[in-house]
Structure 1
């Protein structure tokens, strides 16, 4: 992998070609976002922007070949790449991975609020998805399918799911870019950085407040905003788990149940990890139970 990444980073046009190839294949989109993040982190957001725009321009013929509008695939790619570049700029300025991830939450919150300005359209789209994928399951329930009002309320939770998926794609792209940067230029750096991941009191309090307001009011817009907040707070909970396992010399297999629960019971597991993040800001599990090993004589080696 290191040799491939070094080849990509050796020239702008190799980076453009690689990002273009990832953008042209839908299920490789996150890898393209990771490469854009890598360029932005290593060579600066301006160079990353140039690579992203050139790759997006190259996607216009792809859109036409598959029968999409001229800008459809390019716009979809840029909707991921441009926010990722803003996050790399924030990481450059603050030196904090958590601050960059909070930007992803801000983008997602903007998406939720924008979608809620057209609730009728959201309900229509949500009902279509429910009718296609969930209605057969509802019809098998002893109490029968939900009422129209209940289905409308379920459809109004669609913006939260879309925004959460969007913010997760942004964060994974940034993490890929940061990990690849560490592979090339700072081995082990991403692991150490993620193990210290911490949102801070203000961000955690805001996320916790959204969660409480959502539970008390049961408003769809607050439920959607709370889902985004839970996903981003969850990252600190994951960082605590990773740091505790690594610093106590345990096998990485101890993390498998965590990720297994995230796959099987995603929202519930995310909520538990978000709660762990809130507790970590009070107790500081890593400092108390698994402090980072200090190099001898204050050396950084």
Structure 2
């Protein structure tokens, strides 16, 4: 990977080649988004613009044949990379995934209307039986839920796409740090914490969105910043207490199997941390200096 990174950073031609080929190959678009974000983080818009334009051409081709995901993830990762380079503040970048996910959801709802409608109809057919197994069915609540299915599904897809863009940026930042600022990304991520107003706004969107007609899209996308802020909290606490990689492995494995429980728990922790800042109250096992540099050129 070190050799590939050095090849990518030699110039725009090499970066464009890697991005274009990655996006053109099915299921490798995420790697193209990582490479594009790396170029923009290091070189900025002036040198990265041509990489964005030429690299987006195969993604546009995918969109024209019915798959907008590569294009959305590529452009979303580029936007987040430019924001991080400009502001160097992860809380803003993570918060930006909510409006970005909302844009994704609206685009997907417009471009994938037929598939979403078909999926919603299948869920509608199964809902009465599923709810009856849980107890008495509220007909009014069931009817309202059925009307919200299409925007809810679009919101879930938008949230998934937003998460993919943020993961691509995280991988790019980690790669950048390994090349130019070893250890820098770890310290950045461990310090990631939402501001109190961010936590309040996101929680209101998560719980209030489904209560207002037309805003159901907000609920799924608002969970993305809370999830990543919560994961950063766990990473930060593990790092402060020097617990090793074991607790993190357990966390991510558990997320695969009991995400229904852990996902909301992590979001709640992120919200509480935005108000009380747990990490500032913890005493590290041993002292160590912080490196605030971000590896930008």
Class of the TM-score when normalised by the shorter of the 2 chains:
0.7 to 0.9
1:248 is aligned, of 241, 256, 259, to: 241
Q: Does the C-alpha gap of structure 1 residues 86 and 58 become closer, same or farther in structure 2, counting only changes over 3 Å?
A: closer
Q: Are residues 1:201 and 2:196 paired?
A: yes
SS at match of 1:198: coil
The answer to whether the 8 Å contact 1:45/1:88 transfers is: no
Q: 1:138, 1:94 → 2: CA distance?
A: 49
Distance in 2 separating the partners of 1:165 and 1:31: 16
1:5 is the counterpart of 2:30:
no
Residue 83 of structure 1 and its aligned partner are, at CA, apart by 2.6
Deviation at 1:135, TM superposition (A): 6.4
| Counterpart position of 2:50 | 50
Offset at residue 81 of structure 1 (A) = 2.2
Structure 1 unaligned segments of length 5 or more: list them: none
CA contact (8 A) 1:49 1:85 kept: no
Give the aligned partner of residue 174 of structure 2.
179
**CA-CA distance at 1:18 after TM superposition:** 0.7
Cross-structure match for 2:222: 229
Q: SS where residue 195 of structure 1 aligns? A: helix
Equivalent residues, number: 286
Query: Are 2:104 and 1:104 equivalent residues in the alignment?
Result: no
| 2: CA distance, partners of 1:292 / 1:282 | 24
CA contact (8 A) 1:113 1:221 kept: no
The question of whether the paired residues in 1 share the 8 Å contact of 2:241 and 2:285 is answered with no
Give secondary structure in 2 for the equivalent of 1:26. coil
What is the CA deviation profile of residues 62-93 of structure 1, one whole-angstrom value per residue up to 9, with x for unaligned ones?
A: x5xxxx78x54896544322232222221122
Q: Give me the whole-angstrom Cα distance separating, in 1, the residues matched to 2:28 and 2:127.
A: 31
Q: Which has the higher contact order (CA 8 A, sep 6+)?
A: 2
Distance in 1, matches of 2:67 and 2:118, equals 26
RMSD: 3.4
CA distance, structure 1, for counterparts of residue 190 and residue 180 of structure 2? 19
Following TM superposition, the consecutive aligned residue runs of length 4 or more in structure 1 with deviations greater than 4 angstroms are 71-76, 113-116, 130-144, 290-294, 298-301
**Displacement after TM superposition at 1:281 (Å):** 2.1
5+ residue gaps, structure 2, are: none
Give the drift of 1:237.
0.9
What is residue 30 of structure 2 aligned with on the other side?
Answer: 30
The answer on whether the counterparts of 2:23 and 2:58 sit within 8 Å (CA) in structure 1 is: no
> Structure 1 residue 154 and structure 2 residue 154: aligned?
no
